[in-house]
Amino acid sequence: MASNKRIVVKVGTNVLTREDRTLDKLIFRQVVVQLVKLIRAGYSPVLVSSGAVGAGRSIIGDSEIADEAIRRQVLSAVGQTSLMKSYFELFIEYDIVCAQVLATKEDFSEGEHYQNMVNCFEGLLGQGIVPIVNENDVVSLTELMFTDNDELAGLTATMIGAERLILLSNVDGVYGPGGDVVHHVPQNDHSVRAHISTEKSGMGRGGMLSKFEIATATAAQGIETIIANGKHDNIILDILSGKAIGTRFLTEELAK
Ligand code: GLU
Protein backbone atom coordinates (compact mmCIF):
# COMPACT_ATOMS: atom_id res chain seq x y z
CA MET A 1 0.00 0.00 0.00
CA ALA A 2 1.50 3.33 -1.07
CA SER A 3 2.21 5.83 1.68
CA ASN A 4 0.59 9.20 1.02
CA LYS A 5 3.84 10.91 1.90
CA ARG A 6 5.84 9.57 -0.99
CA ILE A 7 7.49 12.24 -3.01
CA VAL A 8 9.73 12.21 -6.08
CA VAL A 9 12.31 14.97 -6.49
CA LYS A 10 14.18 15.24 -9.76
CA VAL A 11 17.34 17.29 -10.07
CA GLY A 12 18.68 18.14 -13.49
CA THR A 13 22.28 18.37 -14.64
CA ASN A 14 21.98 22.17 -14.82
CA VAL A 15 21.15 22.27 -11.10
CA LEU A 16 24.04 20.02 -10.10
CA THR A 17 26.73 21.74 -12.16
CA ARG A 18 28.26 25.20 -12.20
CA GLU A 19 28.74 27.36 -15.26
CA ASP A 20 32.21 25.89 -15.75
CA ARG A 21 30.45 22.48 -15.94
CA THR A 22 32.04 21.08 -12.76
CA LEU A 23 29.83 19.54 -10.07
CA ASP A 24 28.49 21.99 -7.51
CA LYS A 25 29.12 20.25 -4.17
CA LEU A 26 27.12 22.86 -2.27
CA ILE A 27 24.00 22.05 -4.27
CA PHE A 28 24.46 18.33 -3.59
CA ARG A 29 24.57 19.09 0.11
CA GLN A 30 21.55 21.40 -0.07
CA VAL A 31 19.50 18.73 -1.86
CA VAL A 32 20.52 16.00 0.57
CA VAL A 33 19.90 18.16 3.67
CA GLN A 34 16.40 19.00 2.44
CA LEU A 35 15.64 15.33 1.79
CA VAL A 36 16.90 14.45 5.26
CA LYS A 37 14.50 17.03 6.70
CA LEU A 38 11.68 15.50 4.67
CA ILE A 39 12.50 12.05 6.01
CA ARG A 40 12.45 13.42 9.56
CA ALA A 41 9.03 14.91 8.80
CA GLY A 42 7.74 11.46 7.79
CA TYR A 43 8.18 11.60 4.02
CA SER A 44 9.62 8.82 1.88
CA PRO A 45 11.54 10.61 -0.86
CA VAL A 46 12.85 9.18 -4.08
CA LEU A 47 15.54 11.23 -5.80
CA VAL A 48 15.85 11.12 -9.57
CA SER A 49 19.26 12.56 -10.30
CA SER A 50 20.80 13.45 -13.63
CA GLY A 51 24.39 14.50 -13.80
CA ALA A 52 26.19 11.26 -14.67
CA VAL A 53 27.39 12.51 -18.04
CA GLY A 54 28.22 15.92 -16.54
CA ALA A 55 30.15 14.31 -13.68
CA GLY A 56 32.04 12.06 -16.13
CA ARG A 57 32.98 15.10 -18.15
CA SER A 58 34.29 16.90 -15.10
CA ILE A 59 36.51 13.88 -14.33
CA ILE A 60 37.92 12.87 -17.72
CA GLY A 61 37.16 15.94 -19.81
CA ASP A 62 35.15 15.94 -22.99
CA SER A 63 36.76 12.69 -24.21
CA GLU A 64 38.11 12.24 -27.69
CA ILE A 65 35.74 9.42 -28.57
CA ALA A 66 34.19 10.39 -31.88
CA ASP A 67 31.11 8.18 -31.65
CA GLU A 68 28.54 10.18 -29.70
CA ALA A 69 26.75 7.16 -28.25
CA ILE A 70 29.99 5.56 -27.04
CA ARG A 71 31.15 8.89 -25.62
CA ARG A 72 27.92 9.15 -23.64
CA GLN A 73 28.33 5.57 -22.40
CA VAL A 74 31.88 6.24 -21.25
CA LEU A 75 31.11 9.60 -19.61
CA SER A 76 28.05 8.28 -17.79
CA ALA A 77 29.83 5.08 -16.67
CA VAL A 78 32.62 7.17 -15.15
CA GLY A 79 30.32 9.87 -13.79
CA GLN A 80 27.66 7.67 -12.20
CA THR A 81 30.18 6.34 -9.66
CA SER A 82 31.17 9.82 -8.60
CA LEU A 83 27.53 10.97 -8.40
CA MET A 84 26.70 8.08 -6.10
CA LYS A 85 29.86 8.59 -4.05
CA SER A 86 28.80 12.19 -3.37
CA TYR A 87 25.24 11.21 -2.43
CA PHE A 88 26.32 8.25 -0.31
CA GLU A 89 28.82 10.27 1.69
CA LEU A 90 26.35 13.07 2.32
CA PHE A 91 23.39 10.88 3.32
CA ILE A 92 25.48 8.70 5.61
CA GLU A 93 26.50 11.80 7.60
CA TYR A 94 22.85 11.86 8.68
CA ASP A 95 22.70 8.06 9.17
CA ILE A 96 20.57 7.62 6.09
CA VAL A 97 21.30 4.95 3.52
CA CYS A 98 20.79 5.65 -0.15
CA ALA A 99 20.80 3.25 -3.06
CA GLN A 100 21.45 3.41 -6.77
CA VAL A 101 18.59 2.42 -9.08
CA LEU A 102 19.43 2.53 -12.76
CA ALA A 103 16.48 2.13 -15.08
CA THR A 104 15.77 1.62 -18.75
CA LYS A 105 12.53 2.32 -20.55
CA GLU A 106 11.78 -1.39 -20.63
CA ASP A 107 11.53 -1.41 -16.84
CA PHE A 108 8.41 0.74 -17.12
CA SER A 109 6.59 -1.27 -19.75
CA GLU A 110 4.00 -3.79 -18.63
CA GLY A 111 5.11 -7.19 -17.42
CA GLU A 112 7.89 -8.75 -15.46
CA HIS A 113 10.31 -5.84 -15.77
CA TYR A 114 7.69 -3.47 -14.36
CA GLN A 115 6.99 -5.75 -11.44
CA ASN A 116 10.71 -6.13 -10.71
CA MET A 117 11.03 -2.37 -10.55
CA VAL A 118 7.99 -2.03 -8.26
CA ASN A 119 9.46 -4.69 -5.97
CA CYS A 120 12.79 -2.89 -5.91
CA PHE A 121 11.22 0.46 -4.91
CA GLU A 122 8.96 -1.17 -2.33
CA GLY A 123 11.92 -3.09 -0.89
CA LEU A 124 14.05 0.04 -0.57
CA LEU A 125 11.33 2.37 0.70
CA GLY A 126 10.20 -0.29 3.17
CA GLN A 127 13.71 -0.20 4.67
CA GLY A 128 13.80 3.60 4.89
CA ILE A 129 16.45 3.71 2.15
CA VAL A 130 16.48 6.61 -0.32
CA PRO A 131 16.44 5.32 -3.92
CA ILE A 132 18.53 7.51 -6.22
CA VAL A 133 17.34 6.88 -9.73
CA ASN A 134 18.95 7.62 -13.05
CA GLU A 135 18.60 6.30 -16.53
CA ASN A 136 21.01 3.46 -17.18
CA ASP A 137 22.87 5.52 -19.75
CA VAL A 138 25.45 2.81 -20.26
CA VAL A 139 22.96 0.45 -21.88
CA SER A 140 20.08 2.66 -22.97
CA LEU A 141 20.78 4.09 -26.36
CA THR A 142 18.83 5.80 -29.14
CA GLU A 143 15.23 4.63 -29.47
CA LEU A 144 15.30 2.83 -26.13
CA MET A 145 16.08 6.01 -24.22
CA PHE A 146 13.69 8.00 -22.05
CA THR A 147 12.99 11.40 -23.57
CA ASP A 148 14.90 12.73 -20.56
CA ASN A 149 15.02 12.23 -16.80
CA ASP A 150 11.82 14.27 -16.40
CA GLU A 151 10.01 11.42 -18.15
CA LEU A 152 11.77 8.91 -15.90
CA ALA A 153 10.76 10.97 -12.84
CA GLY A 154 7.12 11.10 -13.97
CA LEU A 155 7.02 7.34 -14.53
CA THR A 156 8.67 6.75 -11.15
CA ALA A 157 6.14 9.00 -9.39
CA THR A 158 3.29 7.03 -10.95
CA MET A 159 4.91 3.70 -10.19
CA ILE A 160 5.39 4.37 -6.47
CA GLY A 161 2.07 6.19 -6.02
CA ALA A 162 3.73 9.48 -5.04
CA GLU A 163 1.63 12.39 -3.83
CA ARG A 164 3.99 14.93 -5.39
CA LEU A 165 6.58 15.25 -8.07
CA ILE A 166 9.08 18.13 -7.97
CA LEU A 167 11.10 18.81 -11.12
CA LEU A 168 14.08 21.02 -10.33
CA SER A 169 15.98 22.76 -13.10
CA ASN A 170 17.81 26.08 -13.32
CA VAL A 171 14.76 28.16 -14.27
CA ASP A 172 12.13 29.51 -11.88
CA GLY A 173 9.20 27.76 -13.54
CA VAL A 174 7.04 28.14 -16.62
CA TYR A 175 6.94 31.71 -17.90
CA GLY A 176 3.70 33.27 -19.13
CA PRO A 177 3.33 35.77 -22.02
CA GLY A 178 4.15 38.73 -19.73
CA GLY A 179 7.48 37.19 -18.71
CA ASP A 180 6.36 36.30 -15.19
CA VAL A 181 6.36 32.80 -13.73
CA VAL A 182 2.92 31.21 -13.94
CA HIS A 183 2.29 29.89 -10.44
CA HIS A 184 -0.67 27.61 -11.14
CA VAL A 185 -1.61 25.54 -14.14
CA PRO A 186 -5.12 24.13 -13.75
CA GLN A 187 -5.97 20.71 -15.20
CA ASN A 188 -6.43 20.67 -18.96
CA ASP A 189 -5.24 24.25 -19.26
CA HIS A 190 -2.85 24.32 -22.19
CA SER A 191 -2.92 28.10 -22.64
CA VAL A 192 0.61 28.68 -21.34
CA ARG A 193 2.03 25.92 -23.53
CA ALA A 194 2.09 28.19 -26.59
CA HIS A 195 4.53 30.56 -24.88
CA ILE A 196 7.10 27.97 -23.93
CA SER A 197 10.39 28.17 -25.77
CA THR A 198 11.57 24.97 -27.39
CA GLU A 199 15.17 25.94 -26.69
CA LYS A 200 17.19 23.84 -24.28
CA SER A 201 19.54 25.42 -21.81
CA GLY A 202 22.91 24.03 -20.77
CA MET A 203 23.79 20.36 -20.60
CA GLY A 204 20.56 18.56 -19.73
CA ARG A 205 18.63 16.60 -22.34
CA GLY A 206 15.18 17.87 -21.40
CA GLY A 207 13.66 21.29 -22.06
CA MET A 208 10.72 23.25 -20.67
CA LEU A 209 8.28 21.91 -23.24
CA SER A 210 8.88 18.29 -22.30
CA LYS A 211 8.73 19.26 -18.60
CA PHE A 212 5.38 20.95 -19.22
CA GLU A 213 4.01 17.87 -20.95
CA ILE A 214 5.22 15.50 -18.28
CA ALA A 215 3.93 17.76 -15.50
CA THR A 216 0.51 18.00 -17.18
CA ALA A 217 0.27 14.23 -17.60
CA THR A 218 1.45 13.49 -14.06
CA ALA A 219 -0.95 16.02 -12.50
CA ALA A 220 -3.79 14.45 -14.51
CA GLN A 221 -3.04 11.24 -12.63
CA GLY A 222 -3.57 12.99 -9.31
CA ILE A 223 0.08 13.71 -8.54
CA GLU A 224 0.68 17.40 -7.88
CA THR A 225 3.68 18.38 -9.98
CA ILE A 226 5.87 21.42 -9.45
CA ILE A 227 8.55 22.85 -11.75
CA ALA A 228 10.96 25.09 -9.83
CA ASN A 229 14.52 26.37 -9.57
CA GLY A 230 16.78 23.89 -7.80
CA LYS A 231 19.50 26.50 -7.41
CA HIS A 232 17.43 28.31 -4.78
CA ASP A 233 18.12 27.55 -1.14
CA ASN A 234 15.44 25.50 0.59
CA ILE A 235 13.39 25.18 -2.56
CA ILE A 236 11.94 21.73 -1.79
CA LEU A 237 10.91 22.71 1.73
CA ASP A 238 9.47 26.03 0.52
CA ILE A 239 7.37 24.20 -2.08
CA LEU A 240 6.03 21.81 0.53
CA SER A 241 5.21 24.64 2.91
CA GLY A 242 2.97 26.09 0.20
CA LYS A 243 5.01 29.17 -0.76
CA ALA A 244 4.06 30.75 -4.09
CA ILE A 245 7.15 29.52 -5.83
CA GLY A 246 7.69 27.74 -9.16
CA THR A 247 4.84 26.46 -11.30
CA ARG A 248 2.33 24.07 -9.75
CA PHE A 249 0.32 21.76 -11.95
CA LEU A 250 -2.89 21.24 -10.06
CA THR A 251 -4.61 17.91 -9.70
CA GLU A 252 -8.39 17.66 -9.93
CA GLU A 253 -8.49 17.41 -6.16
CA LEU A 254 -6.50 20.65 -5.66
CA ALA A 255 -8.51 22.60 -8.21
CA LYS A 256 -11.75 22.08 -6.23
N1 GLU B 1 20.83 10.46 -17.51
C2 GLU B 1 21.57 11.62 -17.91
C3 GLU B 1 22.74 11.85 -16.95
O4 GLU B 1 22.74 11.39 -15.86
C5 GLU B 1 20.71 12.88 -17.93
C6 GLU B 1 19.49 12.84 -18.79
C7 GLU B 1 18.75 14.20 -18.78
O8 GLU B 1 19.44 15.25 -18.95
O9 GLU B 1 17.54 14.24 -18.59
O10 GLU B 1 23.66 12.56 -17.29
Look at residue 197 and tell me if it is in a domain: yes
Mean pLDDT of 57-85: 93
Residue 1 lies in a domain: no
Region class of 239: left (phi > 0), else alpha (psi between -120 and 50), else beta: alpha
The rounded Å distance from CA 158 to ligand 1 centre is 20
Position 20 confidence tier, pLDDT thresholds 50, 70, 90: confident
Q: Is residue 14 part of a domain?
A: yes
CATH classification at residue 125: 3.40.1160.10
Amino acid (1-letter code) at residue 137: D
Q: How many domains does the chain have?
A: 1
Contact, 168 vs 58, CB < 8 A?
Answer: no
Q: Is 137 annotated as a binding residue?
A: yes
Cα gap 121→226, rounded to integer Å: 22
Looking at residue 2, its pLDDT comes to 41
φ/ψ (deg, to 5) at 191: -65, -35
Q: Which of 63, 136, 137, 167 to mutate to test the pocket of ligand 1 (most atoms within 8 A of CB)?
A: 137
For residue 157, tell me if it sits in a domain.
Answer: yes
pLDDT at 144: 77
Residue 182 in domain = yes
* Assigned domain for 235 exists: yes
Segments forming the whole domain that contains residue 112: 6-255
Total-model pTM: 0.94
Best of 87, 148, 167, 214 for a ligand 1 pocket test (most atoms within 8 Å of beta carbon): 148
